[in-house]
Amino acid sequence: MNTAFQIGKIMEIPIRLHITFLVIIPWVAYAFASVSTYIFGKLYGFGAVEPATLRWIYSFAFAILLFVCVALHELGHSFVARRFGIRIKSITLYLFGGVASMEEIPRNPALELRMAVAGPAVSGMIGLAAIALYWWAESLLGAAHPAAILMWTLGIMNLILMAFNLIPAFPMDGGRVLRAWFATRMPYVLATRRAASIGKAFAMLLGFLGLFSVNILTMVVAFFVYVGATEEERATTVSDSLRGIKVKHIMSGQVKTVGPEMNLRDLTDLMFREKHRGYPVIVDEKPAGIVTITDLQRVAEEKREGTLVGQVMTRDIYVIGPEEEAASAMKRMTESNIRRLPVISDGKMVGIISREDLVRAIELCSDGR
């Protein structure tokens, strides 16, 4: 299931919205429509704005602008990455912020430091610019005008976003800054483990604070921080285990394929007999798609004899080259939630690599490193 949809492009980078984003926009609007307090002597939140219609208009405008700022934060990372030749596949806005999907994560501490700092720097500049606009709006419209409140609230939130992201704990940007600092003094994997451990400790502290204060949002944020730190550590360990190993070293060269004219009854018998969960579909010696047990299960058993592989196979397939890194295959499978990749060379399939192949390689190499 595709849980995100593209809304446009900035700097040729696809900007995508996760379905959770549709929940958070009304929630943020409600939260800021319900609060009215003073921060540094200035009105923060729209709870005091009247009439109610105007209050909700400004609250929703604020919620949308806030997540535009989150997208700009991620574009800050992406701008630096692109300057150094790293391709950005997309930026996705989630419930708790944005994520830039990069072709690779640099193991250069100086470059990682620049990339990590770029996002909070953008948030800081937006925050200061919004506060400057507040002073302008205050002088023209008054401090209680909704436009002035909007600028002040947006400015404060961006400064909070900057400060939160600079906390030295994964998966925040500060955690990457910390890893970059550690990486100048120790191997990269050990630096990641140290930074991830600090991130998990911070998450546990945040979780206890949320538990004792009965703050559900704090506990949810703590959970996501803990999971993010754990995943970063795991991904780095896996990548290091596969370092130097190419797809051709661990792929299966002898690949059983099927044609699009095979019916699903015969495909079922083949899967039972050979204990495989999927097969590449070949037409004129070239891959035309892939058929898996998931495709098979979508067709009722009584209809399988009259249904052909070509009618149910997945045509938009992900492939990889034999000279590519095995770590790239793992990343591609994880991002696309698939279990195998056809290996293509000069337009022809020369093998297939599965998650099982990668797990076996990780087990073997982890013992030797």
Catalytic residues: 74
198-217 burial, b for 16+ CB within 10 Å, e for fewer? bbbebbeebbeebeeeeeee
Closest CA to 167 of 205, 199, 132: 199
Residues 58, 149 contacting (CB under 8 angstroms):
yes
Residues 196, 183 contacting (CB under 8 angstroms):
no
Tokens linked to 64: 């949308």
Residues 67, 21 contacting (CB under 8 angstroms):
yes
Residues 208, 226 contacting (CB under 8 angstroms):
no
**Kind of pairing between the strands at 88-94 and 13-18:** parallel
Q: How far apart are CA 161 and CA 70, in angstroms?
A: 9
Q: How far apart are CA 67 and CA 282, in angstroms?
A: 45
104-133 burial, b for 16+ CB within 10 Å, e for fewer? ebbbebebbbbbbbbbbbbbbebbeebbeb
Helix H or strand E segment including 25: helix 21-33
Q: How far apart are CA 196 and CA 181, in angstroms?
A: 13
DSSP assignment of 77-90 equals HHHHHHHTTPPEEE
238-258 burial, b for 16+ CB within 10 Å, e for fewer? bbbbbeebbbbebbeeebeeb
Q: Is 97 left (phi over 0), alpha (psi -120 to 50) or beta?
A: left
Q: At what angle do helices 109-141 and 146-165 cross, to 10 degrees?
A: 160
